[in-house]
């Protein structure tokens, strides 16, 4: 599971980290001076449009790596970007053709030089498509509204020679114009990428391309019900599959070499195979080999074997996540979206997260879970801070700031890896300093503001650490109960992210962290509580349009926890809603009792997961997580107007450039592109491998 940057940290950074130091005790004076030197002449914010901010990040320490590691990272970098088209194809069936058509318009100098309002609006639309890997918002899942005219689109495409357009086999230019014109401009076509409305058919009402035309939720559930389960109740279905209807029967298409999306997957395999001889050790070599075997076979057993090898690769400095992994884009929570994160370990910063992982058994033993839901022996939990080299697919441009993998429940019983994306977090922090802060606007008192400035940075980092390292790895499912994608279905992601958040919240206000030397005092925990309640009750509403319900799983989990805690806390004045100068605030009056409430919530969410209690999970989500107070929502939007803070952030990747002598790589240099548009057009030229079909 990944802790998305845009689910939690971006709000904190705009309210907290921008106003104060990070308090990261593990950084040496020399490290800080070196980073400050880099920061002084590096512009982090590159572009802003719609509700988005584009940020640049650096790769500190890359130049110090030996050439073998640099070359290895370069091959993994190329493998990551070679799969870029996959996420477009997975998100919606027309995404690739739309993206390539819009890129053709932008690359057409006659239209490009037009400079009119329609062209400017088209350029913003295309940037949004690049950011979200398709025509649906990366967070709300709603289809974008085009602010350029259909007549302009048709004229612009019509002026381009047919051989320069991304036509499917047998398709004419006129067919393309008509088809894409309807998809882009007709609001009734594919309005939601992922629909979580349990009152409808989740498959039929979702535009995501894991399911072909005519496939229904009933068809899919019947198919899964007939699949024989393997040991430990693990269902034998692949994350890398797509279902289509052929002659009235459900057919499974597998994403693999020789199968669905083979053109891009072959390129991924090509670069992975070049990486194998450069592996740092035998375990990493085995991991790469098993990943290649999986891409070639498409078999879920090979995916399991890869994950088992990957969690044992703990000695390597370099690492990669690559595959069909997170299931947030599947309304049924079973299909994985392509993503890749290439990285190397930040040796100094890892000390903080390692301190947390070493105490995993203590956290499990002292959690408020029922005894039967606790793990008696917590093993194989690895935590580290990484320096990201490149991200692709579902991890880019919008990126996680923490990752805990693998998601496979029975593999997680053996072990898992948790990482914090150190240079990504730093880039968010530095970018937020280049703009305004919302802390003074939404904090109730000067005491709260001062505390946030002092402790916000470390509280935020520890929330991510505890969420990923302890949260996702904690608890156990009762014997005979299926995995959450089976038992909790469309509510599984929301409930799991809420459970991990609650683990973090419960222990953020615990003397244990002081004793471990991770925080100076429990005041840091108070800051974490202040920010979580503000965010869940108010701040995240800035991402929604008036009248919208909450759809995205991470937003749902935060609102669920905050509203539920407010309701429970209102009984004893633990949390108070205060209106001052016609502005609403949520003020915590008793932090000790709020911790007890978080503990109660955690115990119940773990019970729901352990017992597979679908009805209880559904009731919690539908009661607290979905509906929005329209009056409060309007107030939040009004208060944010003057701040002009983009709700979402994403990244321009650095570029790795090999320095060659003949066929040999002498060195790898890092370049830092400044233009989001230029990078996306470059990627479109260099990494477009999938055929249109």
Mind listing the pLDDT tens digit for each residue in 337-372?
A: 999 999 999 999 899 889 999 999 999 999 999 999
| Contact in structure between 496 and 609 (CB atoms under 8 Å) | yes
Per-residue confidence band for 237, with pLDDT thresholds at 50, 70 and 90: low
Residues 156-188: pLDDT tens digits?
Answer: 999 999 999 999 999 999 999 999 999 999 999
Q: Residue ranges of the alpha helices (H) in 278-329?
A: 282-297, 300-312
| Contact in structure between 399 and 424 (CB atoms under 8 Å) | yes
Mean pLDDT within 112-132:
90
pLDDT of residue 415: 87
Specify the number of domains making up the chain. Answer: 1
Measured CA to CA, the distance from residue 431 to residue 13 in angstroms comes to 9
Residue 284 buriedness (CB in 10 A; 0-12 / 13-18 / 19+) = buried
Mean pLDDT within 671-692:
97
173 CB-near residues (< 8 Å, 6+ apart) = 157, 158, 160, 162, 165, 167
Mean pLDDT within 447-472:
93
Within a domain: residue 641? yes
pLDDT of residue 30: 42
Mean pLDDT within 589-599:
98
Measured CA to CA, the distance from residue 518 to residue 125 in angstroms comes to 44
Name the strand (E) or helix (H) holding 54: strand 52-56
What are the percentages of helix, strand and coil residues in the chain, rounded to 5?
Answer: 50, 15, 35
**Model confidence at 280: pLDDT above 90:** yes
pLDDT of residue 615: 97
Name the strand (E) or helix (H) holding 264: helix 262-275
Residues 573-587: pLDDT tens digits?
Answer: 999 999 999 999 999
How far is the CA of 234 from the CAs of 231, 484, 628, in angstroms?
Answer: 6, 11, 37
Residue 345 phi/psi, 5-degree rounding, is -70, 135
Measured CA to CA, the distance from residue 178 to residue 180 in angstroms comes to 6
Within a domain: residue 341? yes
CATH number for the domain harbouring residue 331? 3.30.540.30
Identify which of 90, 408, 102, 502 has the alpha carbon closest to the alpha carbon of residue 264.
90
| Contact in structure between 523 and 454 (CB atoms under 8 Å) | yes
pLDDT of residue 40: 64
Per-residue confidence band for 3, with pLDDT thresholds at 50, 70 and 90: low
Per-residue confidence band for 231, with pLDDT thresholds at 50, 70 and 90: very low
Within a domain: residue 181? no
386 CB-near residues (< 8 Å, 6+ apart) = 319, 341, 343, 344, 345, 346, 419, 420, 421, 422
Domain of residue 547, residue span: 2-41+267-650
What does DSSP say about strands 648-652 and 52-56: parallel, antiparallel, or unpaired?
parallel
Per-residue confidence band for 434, with pLDDT thresholds at 50, 70 and 90: confident
Within a domain: residue 210? no
* Per-residue b or e along 386-423, where b marks 16 or more CB atoms closer than 10 Å to that residue's CB: bbbbbbbbbbbbbbbbbbbbbbbbebbbebbbbbbbbb
Measured CA to CA, the distance from residue 674 to residue 644 in angstroms comes to 22
Within a domain: residue 274? yes
Per-residue confidence band for 12, with pLDDT thresholds at 50, 70 and 90: very low
Number of Cβ within a 10 Å radius of residue 595: 21
Measured CA to CA, the distance from residue 216 to residue 576 in angstroms comes to 45
Helix (H, G, I), strand (E, B) or coil at 383: strand
Within a domain: residue 439? yes
376 CB-near residues (< 8 Å, 6+ apart) = none
Measured CA to CA, the distance from residue 527 to residue 604 in angstroms comes to 25
Within a domain: residue 101? no
**Model confidence at 15: pLDDT above 70:** no
Measured CA to CA, the distance from residue 605 to residue 500 in angstroms comes to 10
| Contact in structure between 665 and 659 (CB atoms under 8 Å) | yes
Per-residue confidence band for 492, with pLDDT thresholds at 50, 70 and 90: very high
Within a domain: residue 150? no
């Amino acid at each position: 599971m990944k802790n998305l940057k845009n689910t939690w940290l971006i709000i904190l950074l705009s309210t907290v980290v921008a106003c104060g130091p990070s308090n990261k005790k593990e950084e040496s004076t020399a490290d800080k001076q070196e980073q400050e030197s880099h920061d002084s002449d590096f512009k982090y914010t590159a572009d802003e449009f719609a509700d988005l901010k584009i940020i640049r990040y650096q790769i500190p320490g890359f130049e110090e790596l030996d050439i073998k590691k640099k070359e290895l990272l370069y091959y993994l970098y190329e493998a990551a970007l070679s799969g870029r088209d996959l996420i477009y194809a997975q998100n919606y069936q027309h995404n690739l053709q739309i993206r390539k058509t819009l890129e053709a318009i932008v690359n057409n100098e006659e239209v490009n030089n037009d400079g009119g309002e329609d062209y400017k609006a088209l350029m913003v639309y295309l940037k949004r498509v690049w950011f979200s890997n398709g025509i649906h918002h990366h967070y709300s899942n709603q289809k974008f509204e085009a602010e350029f005219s259909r007549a302009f689109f048709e004229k612009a495409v019509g002026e381009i020679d047919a051989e320069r357009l991304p036509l499917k086999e047998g398709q004419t230019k006129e067919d393309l114009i008509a088809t894409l014109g309807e998809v882009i401009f007709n609001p009734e076509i594919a309005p939601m990428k992922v629909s979580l409305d349990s009152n409808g058919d989740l498959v039929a009402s979702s535009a995501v391309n894991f399911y072909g035309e005519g496939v229904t939720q009933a068809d899919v559930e019947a198919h899964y019900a007939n699949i024989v389960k393997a040991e430990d109740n693990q269902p034998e279905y692949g994350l890398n599959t797509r279902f289509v209807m052929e002659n009235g029967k459900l057919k499974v298409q597998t994403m693999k070499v020789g199968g669905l999306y083979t053109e891009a997957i072959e390129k991924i395999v090509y670069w992975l195979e070049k990486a194998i001889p450069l592996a740092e050790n035998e375990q990493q070599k085995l991991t790469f080999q098993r990943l290649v075997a999986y891409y070639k076979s498409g078999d879920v057993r090979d995916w399991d074997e890869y994950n088992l090898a990957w969690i044992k690769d703990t000695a390597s400095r370099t690492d990669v996540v690559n595959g069909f992994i997170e299931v947030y884009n599947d309304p049924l929570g079973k299909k994985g979206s392509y993503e890749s994160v290439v990285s190397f370990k930040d040796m100094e910063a890892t000390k903080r997260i390692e301190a947390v992982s070493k105490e995993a058994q203590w956290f499990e033993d002292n959690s408020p879970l029922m005894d039967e839901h606790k793990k008696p022996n917590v093993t194989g939990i690895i935590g580290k801070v990484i320096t990201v080299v490149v991200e692709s697919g579902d991890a880019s441009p919008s990126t996680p700031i923490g990752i805990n993998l693998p998601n496979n429940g029975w593999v997680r019983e053996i072990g898992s890896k948790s990482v914090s994306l150190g240079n990504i977090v730093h880039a968010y922090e530095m970018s937020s300093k280049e703009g305004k802060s919302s802390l003074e606007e939404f904090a109730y008192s000067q005491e709260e503001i001062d505390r946030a400035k002092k402790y916000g940075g470390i509280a935020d980092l520890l929330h991510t650490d505890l969420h990923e390292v302890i949260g996702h790895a904690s608890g156990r499912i009762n014997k005979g109960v299926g995995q959450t994608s089976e038992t909790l279905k469309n509510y599984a992601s929301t409930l799991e992210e809420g459970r991990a958040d609650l683990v973090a919240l419960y222990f953020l206000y615990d003397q244990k962290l002081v004793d471990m030397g991770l925080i100076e005092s429990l005041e840091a925990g108070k800051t974490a509580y202040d920010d979580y309640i503000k965010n869940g009750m108010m701040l995240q509403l800035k991402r929604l349009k008036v009248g919208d319900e909450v759809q995205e799983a991470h937003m749902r989990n935060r609102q669920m926890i905050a509203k539920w805690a407010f309701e429970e806390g209102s009984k004893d004045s633990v949390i108070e809603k205060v209106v001052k100068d016609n502005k609403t605030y949520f003020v915590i009056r008793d932090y000790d009792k709020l911790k007890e409430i978080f503990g109660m919530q955690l115990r119940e969410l773990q019970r729901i997961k352990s017992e597979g209690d679908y009805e209880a999970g559904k009731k919690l989500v539908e009661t607290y997580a979905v509906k929005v107070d329209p009056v409060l929502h309007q107030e939040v939007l009004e208060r944010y107007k003057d701040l002009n803070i983009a709700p979402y952030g994403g990244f321009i990747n650095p570029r790795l450039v090999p320095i060659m002598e003949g066929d040999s790589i002498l060195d790898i240099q890092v370049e830092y592109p400044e233009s989001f548009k230029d990078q996306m057009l470059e990627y479109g030229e260099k990494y477009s491998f999938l055929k249109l079909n």
